[in-house]
Structure 1
């Protein structure tokens, strides 16, 4: 991923970092994300505003952020990423709002919650009459993740193919200026880092589910654990579908995890 990039002042929708910070504060005060169906955000002016602000904020942090309009598949990719970048179980409104601002890049990825116990804590905090309902909720959440992974992978593959065509086309479009070339490269990096983030978070979610199962077994033992274990095995089997999409080191190159000290900095977008 490029360490830094510049965008001409005539093309910046917001000219100062102060404006970005003010917008982020207003978004946070607005509350949680508006949820849609099938693990996607609801189509609304609110969610669009959050996403647009995230692009500006990411730009000021020198992260890949392009002001090019999204293709249909790029928009679908972001919708499909929604479930995996939001908490698996609802928490307090403030916590969920922070998660949504992180998902949309208003806040950097370092703001995300890496606590394995967070899902279990939210799961048992909800009122329930029978512990069996907690096992079934856990199994349902795991199964829903597993079912959505193939859809995400199919969309990510189409986006990757389009990005390859985009990069190969650059040398042949003689009328492109340097700014347009930079924006194209940033969009490719943006797409790839989103896929890397989802791949990382599916592993994190699996560990949280496993933690919840283990602790439920100690707190309220039940034969329902067998069904949950099967669901977990199914999720693990589908998570490997994400591996061929990007190199193994993509998460580190996108700044989502600490890079090995011996690894030299390399861009997430290959030369074209």
Structure 2
């Protein structure tokens, strides 16, 4: 891993595996573009990467499988077979000094996701705009361009759409995994810290709802706060019941 949780540069992962993946994709009949990536596409891939893997919880989202899928060596839907109990299993087998600390860990992981989602959404929105601009430019210039240019444009749109769809599935998987872990922790080691984790999950669910609607291009505070979608909490409490997670 490099800075900001991104994959560190590597000839194997950045050249050899993508070349093999492009060949495998072509054999499967999937569109493959040889366009250079725009800065917006590079940033989207960098920002989405942390949601596809989990460096803080080794391989609970199948890091090796993710890399094979990213480089297109395997089909683009392998992640659909992931099951939600792996995050809780990682929490359960990790030795903590206090059972309350597991709630703190879940809260920190959710908070880290929420903190990076606004910029991730913005990066995805920028790529959607790039694809729109490509289509507009091609429609006005297609008479003077070789047919391969149109094929490449449509293939890149397919690749970007597939990557965005992967992000949406990954975000849902994280949310479902956190939810599953909290439910199990409530039975295994019930503590008042569960309230704070549940509130964090409610905030994350707002972003999940936006992602499922492919609403990545919100404006103003609606964009920064998850669109103002209200998700009912699993707790119905009256009065000021705020619980602060221990550091």
Instruction: Give the TM-score of the pair, scaled to structure 2.
Output: 0.77
- Verify the 8 A CA contact 2:106 2:178 in the aligned structure 1: yes
| CA deviation profile, 1:104-128 (whole Å, cap 9, x unmatched) | 3222234324211011112222222
Q: Following TM superposition, by how much is the alpha carbon of 1:70 offset from its aligned partner in structure 2, in angstroms? A: 0.4
Match among 170, 176, 179 for residue 210 of structure 1: 179
Secondary structure at the aligned position of 2:137 is classed as helix
Q: Following TM superposition, by how much is the alpha carbon of 1:186 offset from its aligned partner in structure 2, in angstroms? A: 0.6
1:116 match: 84
Q: 1:115 to 1:44 in 2, by over 3 A?
A: same
1:40 match: 6
Q: How many aligned residue pairs are there?
A: 211
CA distance in structure 1 between the aligned counterparts of 2:117 and 2:19, rounded to whole angstroms: 26
1:238 match: 207
1:59 match: 26
- Name structure 2 gaps, 5 residues minimum: 217-247
Question: Equivalent residues in 2 for 1:64-143 (5 A)?
Answer: 64-87=31-54, 89-91=57-59, 95-112=62-79, 113-143=81-111
**RMSD after superposition:** 2.3
- Name structure 1 gaps, 5 residues minimum: 1-34, 247-272
Q: 1:149 to 1:52 in 2, by over 3 A?
A: farther
* Runs of 4+ off more than 4 Å: none
| CA deviation profile, 1:90-144 (whole Å, cap 9, x unmatched) | 1389x43123212332222343242110111122222222222211111111111
| CA deviation profile, 1:227-262 (whole Å, cap 9, x unmatched) | 11111011012223322448xxxxxxxxxxxxxxxx
1:186 match: 155
CA distance in structure 2 between the aligned counterparts of 1:176 and 1:92, rounded to whole angstroms: 46
Q: 1:83 to 1:179 in 2, by over 3 A?
A: same
- Verify the 8 A CA contact 1:59 1:65 in the aligned structure 2: yes
Q: 1:101 to 1:56 in 2, by over 3 A?
A: same
CA distance in structure 2 between the aligned counterparts of 1:55 and 1:136, rounded to whole angstroms: 42
- Verify the 8 A CA contact 1:119 1:209 in the aligned structure 2: yes
Q: Following TM superposition, by how much is the alpha carbon of 1:161 offset from its aligned partner in structure 2, in angstroms? A: 1.2
CA distance in structure 2 between the aligned counterparts of 1:91 and 1:125, rounded to whole angstroms: 14
Instruction: Give the TM-score of the pair, scaled to structure 1.
Output: 0.70
